[in-house]
């Protein structure tokens, strides 16, 4: 994970210790309160692998070259109004909009609109190890590092003020999808130059400047963020003046805030709360299929989990149907592959691992595995892929106890989880992945490629040259049928080796007060809040 200085710069001139002391009614007159669990270690989505910054903040603060339509799952223009694919997918040329302003904040006032210099800066920083900004704040870009883009991108060039060309060393059919993710924001090169002149480069990722509909106005660690409307937003002024993102309360506390009106929107409510939410006439819910997966990762570098037959034996002990009933309450489907069923490359022949504890005990005994004690690392906060990770861990602990395996649960938060996993002391980790890309490469390479071990997103520490070869073959062709064949082979290798045990693909679930309108829930992560507004009229 990114090696960032522990605390964000808090010297925002508008920061106030009593910012949320203002009556909720005052906030309602000008905006809404969005309640979500999460932590912020950087405001730059380039430097994270998941969490609040990517799931919620990126769509408010930044724009990308391309976007993904939440309803058709197709690539659509964003900061690039058009693009060309050349050399069979090895060269990409982007034609930029000319009327896009960067945010005017207390720490930066732009003197020009967004242009090719900003796009080149944003991508070259990640893809060029020699770039003067590459190592600022740690030099780790987990998503793109896991895709080996530093080695696959040949050049990022400005052709003119409104045209950028990116050349790859070889064709990559997934490239456009990757740069349409929230991990690829366009930053301000002018802002970076000003910070360099002052010797304050680290502030680029802490005091954000983007072209998105909202800009950061206040941040109080672990409590809340306040986003103010960007009056210069190129798509038009957002309908509400502000959004307060409440980070302070988890679990039932957030539900209570929604019921009392202290929260207007509740992100990722627990599935067990569905009946309460459905029965309250003041509340509404949105459910969408999600491009996500929850899974159990085995540390394949540690005995006895380095043996596939041991991993298969342990998998037989997991009662996945009970997870569906006790954790998801009908808001997920049992996973048979690391790909969600919504993916166009999903292997329809994939089968959910059998639940057979007797067979698991016999297999472990035959393998000479006795008195096995495993350490399970688990996040403490609800996620888009799992509303109750700790409860899930307890169910897994009970399942494995039935076959004579003792499990110690190690709850961790935020960046501390990555530290635990990379220290190699764990045996298992309960984790997941959600992406705003419809390309299967955005699941396979970040989670299970050899390169993803170095980028610290491959929690199984598993490396298979034959698996990587199948992924590489899939990138070389623009033909969908050829790519599907390669991904079928990749899924067959995973089924044989089982470095991770897929558990569930969850529906995206969001609850909100009845007067909140225009809220879009995307399968790929949170959409912009620019179109959200209030309508207090009583519904028929």
Q: Taking the mean position of all CA atoms in its chain, how far away is CA 463?
A: 23
What pLDDT is recorded for position 525?
Answer: 66
Which stretch of DSSP H or E encloses residue 431?
A: strand 428-434
pLDDT of residue 16: 37
Q: What is the pTM of this model?
A: 0.81
Q: For residues 492 and 337, what is the distance between their CA atoms, to the nearest angstrom?
A: 10
Q: Which residues contact 199 (CB under 8 A, 6 or more apart)?
A: none
Token representation of residue 29: 């007159």
Q: What is the DSSP code (8-state) at residue 188? A: P
**Which is more confident, 230 or 275?**
230
Give the model confidence (pLDDT) of 19-76 as tens digits. 444 555 578 789 999 998 888 889 999 999 778 898 899 999 999 999 988 778 789 9
Tens of pLDDT, residues 409-449 = 999 875 545 555 555 578 999 999 888 778 899 899 999 99
Domains within the chain, CATH numbers bracketed: 44-52+59-209 (3.90.76.10), 292-506 (3.10.105.10)
In tens, the pLDDT along 314-333 reads: 999 999 999 999 998 888 98
Range with the lowest mean pLDDT among 346-355, 360-369, 380-389? 380-389
Q: For 261-297, give the secondary structure using H, E and C.
A: CCCCEEECCCHHHHHHHHHCCCEEEEEECCCEEEEEE
More confident residue, 58 or 479: 58
CA distance 260 to 245: 17
Higher pLDDT, 12 or 429: 429
Q: Name which of 150, 189, 135 is nearest 2 in CA terms.
A: 135
Select the more confidently predicted residue: 197 or 25.
197
């Amino acid at each position: 994970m990114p090696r960032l200085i522990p605390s964000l710069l808090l010297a925002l001139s508008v920061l106030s210790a009593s910012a949320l002391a203002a009556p909720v009614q005052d906030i309602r007159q000008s905006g809404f309160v969005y309640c979500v669990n999460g932590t912020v270690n950087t405001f730059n989505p380039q430097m994270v692998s998941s969490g609040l910054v990517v799931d919620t903040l990126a769509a408010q603060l930044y724009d990308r070259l391309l976007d993904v339509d939440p309803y058709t799952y197709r690539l659509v223009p964003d900061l690039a109004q058009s693009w060309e694919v050349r050399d069979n997918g090895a060269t990409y040329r982007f034609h930029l909009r000319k009327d896009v302003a960067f945010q005017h904040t207390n720490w930066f006032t732009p003197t020009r609109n967004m242009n090719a210099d900003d796009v080149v800066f944003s991508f070259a920083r990640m893809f060029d190890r020699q770039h003067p900004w590459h190592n600022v704040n740690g030099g780790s870009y987990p998503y793109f590092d896991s895709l080996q883009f530093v080695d696959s991108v040949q050049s990022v060039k400005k052709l003119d003020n409104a045209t950028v060309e990116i050349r790859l060393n070889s064709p990559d059919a997934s490239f456009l999808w990757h740069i349409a993710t929230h991990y690829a924001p366009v930053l301000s090169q002018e802002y970076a130059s000003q910070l360099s002149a002052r010797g304050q480069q680290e502030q680029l990722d802490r005091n954000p400047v983007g072209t998105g509909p909202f800009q950061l106005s206040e941040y109080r660690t672990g409590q809340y963020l306040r986003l103010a409307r960007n009056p210069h937003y190129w798509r038009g002024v957002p309908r509400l003046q502000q959004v307060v993102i409440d980070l302070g309360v988890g679990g039932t506390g957030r539900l209570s805030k929604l019921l009392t009106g202290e929260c207007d929107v509740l992100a990722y409510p627990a599935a067990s709360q569905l009946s309460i939410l459905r029965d309250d006439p003041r509340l509404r819910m949105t459910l969408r299929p999600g491009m996500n997966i929850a899974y159990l990762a085995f540390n394949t570098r540690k005995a006895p989990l380095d043996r596939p037959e041991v991993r298969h034996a342990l998998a037989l002990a997991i009662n996945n149907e009970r997870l569906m009933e006790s954790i998801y309450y009908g808001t997920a489907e049992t996973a048979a592959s690391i790909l969600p069923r919504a993916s166009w490359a999903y292997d329809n022949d994939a089968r959910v691992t059998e639940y057979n504890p007797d067979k698991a005990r016999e297999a472990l005994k035959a393998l000479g595995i006795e008195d096995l004690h495993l350490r399970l690392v688990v996040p403490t906060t609800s996620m888009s892929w799992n509303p109750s990770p700790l409860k899930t861990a307890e169910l897994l602990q009970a399942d494995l106890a039935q076959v004579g395996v003792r499990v110690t649960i190690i709850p961790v938060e935020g960046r501390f989880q990555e530290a635990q996993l990379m220290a190699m002391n764990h045996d298992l980790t309960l984790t997941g992945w959600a992406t705003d890309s419809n390309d299967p490469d955005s699941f396979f390479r970040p989670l299970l490629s050899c390169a993803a071990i170095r980028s610290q997103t491959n929690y199984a520490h598993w490396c298979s040259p034959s698996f990587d070869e199948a992924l590489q073959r899939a990138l070389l062709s623009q033909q969908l049928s050829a790519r599907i064949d390669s991904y079928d082979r990749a899924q067959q290798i995973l089924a044989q080796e089982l470095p991770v045990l897929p558990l569930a693909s969850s529906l995206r679930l969001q609850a909100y007060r009845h007067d909140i309108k225009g809220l879009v829930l995307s399968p790929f992560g949170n959409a912009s809040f620019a179109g959200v507004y209030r309508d207090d009229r009583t519904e028929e």
